[in-house]
A and B are shown apart, each in its own frame.
Chain A
Amino acid sequence: MSERRFTLITGRTTKQGRSVHLGKDAKEFLDEISTLQMNLKDIEVLGLQEGDQVQLRTSHGSAVVRCKKGDIPQGLVFIAYGGFINALVGSDTQATGMPNTKGIEVEVERYG
């Protein structure tokens, strides 16, 4: 299987919170916000290895990031808040003011 649907969770990480003070163009910050945490079994099912590039696609857009093994259940993927998720999140708020920023359906596949 080369492509699977996952639930995307976004959130804060310590590395992201620290490196943002170095600047939004700092390598440490960009590395952290472009790293997708996945369950090891999901990485294997997709035929990936840690560090491989993957493309994330939602109904709103796509982004290319690196995958990494994380402490996360199968079927979920996690990425830190930052510029890379912006393309994946829609602007509809269901009249609440808040876009759906966590729990988003996303397709993940090998890139390149």
Chain B
Amino acid sequence: MAESVGVKDLKVVEGVTCPFCGVTCDDLVVHVEDGKIKEVKNACVLGKDTFMHHLEGWATPRIHGKPATVDQCIDAAAEILAKAKYPLIYGLDSTELHAQRKSIELADLIGANIDHTSSVCHAPSLQAVQTVGISSCTVGEVKNRADLVIFWGCNPAEAHPRHPSRYSVTAKGLFTPRGKRDRMVIHVDVRPTPTARMADAFIQIKPNSDYEVFSALRALLKGHELDQTEVGGVAIDEWKTLLEKMKSSKFGILYWGMGLTMTRGKYLNIVALLTLTQELNRYTKFQAAPMRGHGNVVGMAQVLTWQTGYPFAVNLSRGYPRFNPGEYSVADLLAHGEVDAALIIAADAIGNFPAKMAEHLRSIPMIAVDPKESETTKVATVVIPSAQAGIAAGGMAYRMDHIPLVMKKVVDSPYPSDREVLERIIAKVAAIKTGGNGAHR
């Protein structure tokens, strides 16, 4: 909680949750002076810059590129969404749970397709868990118990800098009192990423060979001998050694990243991985977990699943939820030119999408809700600046291991929160649909 330390315009906020990556470190200490962030303690470089530069590059309210008030922008956004026949709501992983919940309410109201940045990130992981289930655990269990940690197709040294020190490499726990000395860390990837430097062993595999490798490991685990001398560019004997380490560990965890979800095989890579780790439980306690990117990326899948039954790529055009990746997923909706309006919130769709997808977004009425200017706000029909969740707006977020945490507001913003923007759009759209003026619902 915020505590005054006696100086009028100085406050120190402790126990702040970082909104940047999926580790959502909840031990940050933020010093605020005259309403501005002056210092951030305990954060990694990525988290520190998230707070220290939060004032840079703010978006401004505008319609068709011309300055407007936030009220005018919300009215214009509501007009676009109320008129749309097959709209898209997309983004949402860099905001808090209440805003995410409101986005689903809006999608229901206008019969929208709703998808989030997981769709082009860890959606294949979600599909794999739907297919075969998952043997998993919290990061706390990893800290306290894991004596074998495998990072496969992920690079926490650069993407999740405090994960190794808080939970998975040097962290000291109940049954791992000596930290790194009580753990073996193995990194598997197509290139020696900076994570290889903190690992005891690095296994370099060929790109797009992960499914083959997991299948080979499963065969070896079942006692089959393979005809090949190598799989994925690595000698069979090396895979046998890895397997023995997995079987003989007391508590193993395999963390995976987009090296598996974005390559050939997609969710089938993860199905093979999850099946392998489940089968290892015949020998020992073995877990698997995805390394999630954005701060509250897990939250959107949680809320969407709770509300509709499905974790991403949900269509509400018939008044009830339908789920079909490849049809209602953002990449396919845009590549096929199917949606006629879009609300992009807490994400830079244009800045991250393949060119063909971005091309369709540019051709339709698009609303961007974002604290900062981006490639998306540059071309949006309506730009609504919002208070950045976790810095200028409070709420809740799910950590990458599905533990809910409180996000604190540490500074004020002249702009409304994502939640408030969505609530006001919902009220206005509801009024338009019933012939009112949006003043009351």
Q: Write the residues of chain A forming the contact surface with B, with a CB cutoff of 8 angstroms.
A: 7, 9-14, 17-18, 21-26, 60-61, 71-73, 76, 78, 81-83, 86-87, 89-103
What are 22 sample pairs from A and B whose C-beta atoms fall under 8 A apart?
A: A10-B262, A12-B159, A14-B45, A14-B158, A17-B46, A17-B49, A18-B45, A21-B54, A22-B56, A24-B348, A26-B57, A72-B192, A86-B355, A89-B355, A90-B356, A91-B331, A91-B332, A97-B120, A97-B313, A97-B329, A98-B261, A99-B354
State whether A76 touches B190 (Cβ < 8 A). Answer: yes
A-side contacts of B53, CB under 8 Å: 21-22
**B 45-68 to A, binary, CB cutoff 8 A, 1 in contact else 0:** 110011011101100000000000
* Set of chain B residues within 8 Å of A22, measured between Cβ atoms: 53, 56-57
Whether A82 and B262, one on each chain, are in contact in the complex, defined by CB atoms closer than 8 angstroms, is no
Give the 4 A-B CB pairs with smallest separation, nearest first.
A97-B329, A95-B326, A23-B57, A91-B335
Asked if A23 contacts B267 (CB within 8 A), the reply is: no
- Asked if B372 is an interface residue, CB under 8 A from chain A, the answer is yes
- Docked pose: A10 CA to B334 CA in angstroms: 22
Select which of A10, A72, A98 is within 8 A of B331 by beta carbon. A98
A98 contacts which of B120, B158, B373 (Cβ < 8 Å)?
Answer: B120
Chain B residue contacts of A78, Cβ below 8 A: 191
Residues of B within 8 Å of A94, CB to CB, are: 266, 326
Question: Which residue from chain A places its CB closest to the CB of B336 in the assembled complex?
Answer: A91
User: Is B155 a contact of A101 with CB atoms below 8 Å?
Assistant: no
Whether the pair A97, B326 counts as a contact (CB closer than 8 A) is yes
Known A-B contacts A18-B49, A97-B332, A100-B263; the reply to A60 vs B191 at CB < 8 A is no
Question: How far is B49's CA from A82's CA once the two chains are assembled, in angstroms?
Answer: 18
**What is the interface size of chain B, counting residues whose CB is below 8 A from a CB of the partner?**
60
Instruction: Report chain A residues within 8 Å CB of B194.
Output: 14
Contact B124 A24 (CB under 8 A): no
- Complex CA gap A99/B329 in Å reads 11
Please indicate the chain A residues that have their CB under 8 angstroms from the CB of B327 in the complex: 95
Q: For the complex, give the distance between the alpha carbons of A101 and B267 in Å.
A: 14
Q: Restricting to B12-30, which residues have a CB under 8 Å from any CB of A?
A: 20
CA gap between A11 and B327 in the complex, in Å: 26
Interface membership of B164, Cβ < 8 A: no
A20 nearest in chain B by CB position: B49
CA distance A95 to B328 in the complex (A): 10
CB distance from B98 to the nearest CB of A (A): 24
Query: Are B191 and A81 neighbours in the complex by a CB distance under 8 Å?
Result: no
Residues of A within 8 A of B348 (CB): 24
Contact string, B193-205, partner A, CB cutoff 8 A, digits 1/0? 1100000000010
Contact A97 B334 (CB under 8 A): no
